[in-house]
Amino acid sequence: MRARQFYPEFKRGRHAPPSPSEEIFDFLRSKVPLLRRVPVPALKEISQDAFARSYLRGQTVCQTGDPAREIWIVREGRLCVHQCGWKGAMLSIEIMVPGDVSGLAAVACRTYPGEVTATQDTRLIVVPRESVARVIERYPEFAREILYAYGQRIHYIETLLYLSTEPVEKRLIAALLYLYHKFGFTLPLNRSEIGRMAGTTTETSIRVLKRLEQRGLLRGGRGRLQIEDLSGLKAAIDTSLEL
């Protein structure tokens, strides 16, 4: 029997499926906001060294003090980043959704400063530290985007420390404003997740966010919140913070 009967794709000119590195490159180029202004050759270099890894809900990606050997890009699922808060408890400082980059401390630090856990079944694109360092050396645009992202997160942590003695409403608004810069007016998070970012309980978060809805600042939805009055939120906290 002729080969073309077993392998009709040879006759019809069909393309082979993309390689793992090609799939990763396509995702980095189209789905990762931090990399939108990074040159294509840099993305190709990152893709060549990157690989996939999966975590079940509740599994730990890293703990505080673990060697910082890689960064992670969320392809599916969700991560939560925790650090020790002002009262010694763990504070959620970041919620990572598909397209977000975590583990940026690996760029400059020997260990991770916080704990990262999967809050859903999650697939990550893993990029070794050595690959990141090499691309930074060759492409300053990549370094610029990393510095900008890391600076935003540091500013948010500093703001929460500044507001640590303020009422929970101000801490929640600070979280909302930070998330606005990340997601825009529609926040794909529930009230419990936003509450953890402000260092408060789910019950308190629900109660305070409901008050903000009644004032017309927010509109609730299933698993998400819509910012209705951005200027009102800024006025309610302190515009000098420039979140």
Q: Is the pLDDT of residue 225 over 60?
A: yes
Mean pLDDT confidence for 138-143: 94
DSSP letters spanning 76-128? ES-EEEEEE-TTSSEEEEEEE-TT-EE-GGGGT-SB-SSEEEESS-EEEEEEE
Mean pLDDT confidence for 58-83: 94
**What does the pLDDT read at residue 44?**
95
**What does the pLDDT read at residue 19?**
77
CA angle 40-43-49, nearest 5°? 150
**What does the pLDDT read at residue 242?**
47
Closest CA to 168 of 140, 209, 128, 114: 209
Q: Is the pLDDT of residue 129 over 50?
A: yes
Mean pLDDT confidence for 216-228: 90
Q: Is the pLDDT of residue 3 over 60?
A: no
**What does the pLDDT read at residue 181?**
84
The pLDDT tens digits of the residues spanning 80-98 come to 998 765 555 667 778 899 9
**What does the pLDDT read at residue 86?**
53
Domains of the chain and CATH, by start: 18-153 (2.60.120.10), 163-241 (1.10.10.10)
**What does the pLDDT read at residue 1?**
41
Q: Is the pLDDT of residue 45 over 60?
A: yes
The pLDDT tens digits of the residues spanning 181-211 come to 888 999 988 898 888 888 888 899 999 999 9
pLDDT band at residue 2 using 50, 70 and 90 as cut-offs: very low
DSSP letters spanning 140-209? HHHHHHHHHHHHHHHHHHHHHHHTTTS-HHHHHHHHHHHHHHHH-SEE---HHHHHHHTT--HHHHHHHH
Question: Average pLDDT over the chain, rounded to whole?
Answer: 85
Mean pLDDT confidence for 34-59: 95
The pLDDT tens digits of the residues spanning 14-29 come to 555 667 889 999 999 9
Mean pLDDT confidence for 63-75: 96
Q: Is the pLDDT of residue 227 over 90?
A: yes
